[in-house]
């Protein structure tokens, strides 16, 4: 079946582990770094890797407009790097990074600034100069994911701080 796929037309790759009812979590971390070796890696528009960890530097994936990955540990430097990529790349549309742990979590608010607290997440907003577009960085209260996406400035709560 795979030979019927035109790799030049492939726009996205979604990889997740399928579990059977009797599967047990053995505590092993499944690592999937080989994705970068695929011929289509530089052409895809969307990559979603769930249930596997990626240990390569996150910037390896920054050419992909829509990115969802899982990493063992995220750092404040990673968050700042993704923020910079979103603000400077004309092709970056959204990033979602799931993580098991965060390094220097106590520095998060000092680094990103005042967060707007919602029902189940905290958000930071960074307006793109001369545009209605604003980068929204969200972190869940359960502390396992950061999402980065573009929203219209009109969708931001009036009591939120926009940088």
Distance CA 102, CA 146 (A): 10
Residue 154 is assigned to a structural domain of this protein:
no
Distance CA 129, CA 71 (A): 31
Per-residue pLDDT, 150: 96
Residue 161 is assigned to a structural domain of this protein:
no
Residue 118 is assigned to a structural domain of this protein:
no
Residue 125 is assigned to a structural domain of this protein:
no
Are 85 and 137 in contact by the 8 Å Cβ rule? The answer is: no
Number of folded domains in the chain?
Answer: 1
Please write down the HEC assignment for all residues of the chain.
CHHHCCCCCCCEEEECCCCCCCCCCCCCCCECCHHHHCCCCCCCCEEEECCCECCCCHHHHCCCCEEEEEEEEEEHHHHHHHHHHHHHCCCCCEEEEEEEEEECHHHHHHHHCCCEECCCEEEEEEECCCCCEEEEEEEECCCCEEEEEEEEHHHCCCCCCEC
Per-residue pLDDT, 20: 47
Per-residue pLDDT, 15: 80
Which residues fall within 8 angstroms of residue 99, CB to CB, at 6 or more apart?
A: 70, 71, 72, 73, 74, 144, 145, 146
Residue 58 is assigned to a structural domain of this protein:
yes
Per-residue pLDDT, 18: 59
Range of the domain at 48: 2-113
Residue 142 is assigned to a structural domain of this protein:
no
pTM of the model: 0.84
Residue 84 is assigned to a structural domain of this protein:
yes
Residue 51 is assigned to a structural domain of this protein:
yes
Distance CA 82, CA 102 (A): 15
Q: Which residues of the chain have pLDDT under 50?
A: 1, 20, 22
């Amino acid at each position: 079946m795979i030979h019927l796929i035109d790799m030049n037309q492939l726009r996205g790759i979604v990889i997740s582990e399928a579990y059977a009812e009797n599967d047990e979590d053995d505590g092993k971390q499944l690592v999937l770094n080989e994705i970068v070796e695929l011929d289509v890696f530089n052409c895809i528009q969307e990559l979603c890797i769930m249930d596997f960890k990626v240990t390569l530097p996150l910037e390896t994936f920054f050419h992909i407009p829509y990115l969802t990955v899982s990493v063992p540990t995220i750092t404040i430097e990673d968050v700042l790097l993704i923020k910079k990529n979103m603000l400077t790349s004309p092709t970056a549309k959204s990033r979602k990074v799931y993580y098991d742990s965060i390094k220097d979590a106590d520095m998060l608010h000092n680094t990103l600034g005042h967060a707007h607290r919602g029902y189940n997440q905290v958000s930071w907003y960074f307006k793109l100069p001369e545009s209605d577009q604003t980068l929204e960085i969200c972190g869940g209260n359960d502390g396992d994911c950061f999402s980065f996406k573009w929203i219209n400035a009109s969708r931001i709560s009036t009591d939120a701080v926009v940088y």
